Amino acid sequence: MDVLFPIVEYWWFYAGFLALVLMLLAIDLGVFHREAHVVTFRESLSWSVVWVTVALLFNYVFYRYASAQFGPEAGTRLGLEFLTGYVVEKSLAVDNIFVFVLVFAYFGIPLQYQHRVLFYGIIGALVFRAVFIALGSVLMQYHAVVLLFGALLLLTGVKMLFAPEQKIEPDKNPVIRLFRRIMPITPQLHGQSFVVRLGGRWHATPLMVALVFLELSDVIFAVDSVPAIFAITSEPLIVFTSNVFAILGLRAMYFMLAGAIDRFYLLKYALAFILIFVGLKMVWLNEAFGGKFPIVWSLGIIGGLLLAAVVASLVRRPVRV
């Protein structure tokens, strides 16, 4: 797999990008969210606009740089690959929001502490995604692995279409059970603390248990989302940066949509069809189109599916049984 931005040559870019992300996260938590508080719809909307704007500005700068380095045609293709990858990751993140809502309700996490849990959850997600992307950039060089992941995405998409939704039951998760054996858990919250010392021994609070479960769920989501974006582009740099920008805006999107998530009940079907589409790209469509399915078509299909699901959800109210 030939890439235009190999890590060995562009290590300085990865280092600079990570420094930028850490700075943004430090400003987010250290300045704007130092004290625990309920994130309002207006605040979450403002932050959503900020994160999307930052991602689009990066997209434009990346497009201009790629055009200058490799020519206008390659620059346009790479810019569209980033945009498409970002849209895919952003849309698949909606599934995370469903899980956030259920987990916070299960553990009884108050609204004012949810941002803090999600902040550290995002940091963990960035680490896991970096590991998955590094592994993917190596494994995706083998055609058999590409077909395997494509088939996995197809099966996941079909399952989302027809399988009933499963309840969130953290107490039955083997990792959570092991965590309970290693560290005692206090049933009460202790402010915004994740651990508290009681009777000379450290105890985890419900915030910590919720955080652990969210990290586990993100590993599961990464199994779908990372192969999905490798179906869009073979550039690890685009895969990594688009993933990071989608994750950075996930908290703001959660607080903006959490109260209305049931209203957009048809989105899960759009996500299922998106997974099926990118799975088909990996197992058939790319080869059928001479090695690369047109990126403009991919962006149009994915955007059309999301738009159709949103409009249909607003027009047709869900049937209450």
Residue 321 covered by a domain: no
Alpha-carbon gap, residue 150 to 147, rounded angstroms = 5
Domain that residue 80 falls in: 11-315
| Entry pTM | 0.86
Residue 1 covered by a domain: no
Residue 103 covered by a domain: yes
Nearest by Cα to 226 from 293, 130, 87, 121? 130
Give pLDDT, residue 77: 94
Q: What is the pLDDT of residues 116-173, one digit of tens each?
A: 898 888 888 888 888 888 888 888 888 899 999 999 999 999 988 887 766 677 777 7
Alpha-carbon gap, residue 25 to 296, rounded angstroms = 32
DSSP H helical segments within the chain, as ranges? 11-27, 41-70, 72-107, 111-139, 143-162, 174-182, 206-230, 236-248, 250-257, 267-280, 286-288, 295-315
Domains: count for the chain: 1
Q: What are phi and psi of 240, to 5 degrees?
A: -70, -50
pLDDT mean across residues, the chain: 86
Tokens 């190999």, residue located: 6
62-69 mean pLDDT: 95
Residue 180 covered by a domain: yes
pLDDT band at 321, cuts 50/70/90?
very low
- Residue pair 155/249 in contact (Cβ under 8 Å)? The answer is no
Burial class for 199, CB neighbours closer than 10 Å (0-12, 13-18, 19+): exposed
Q: What is the pLDDT of residues 214-234, one digit of tens each?
A: 888 888 888 888 888 898 998
pLDDT band at 76, cuts 50/70/90?
very high
Residue 3 covered by a domain: no
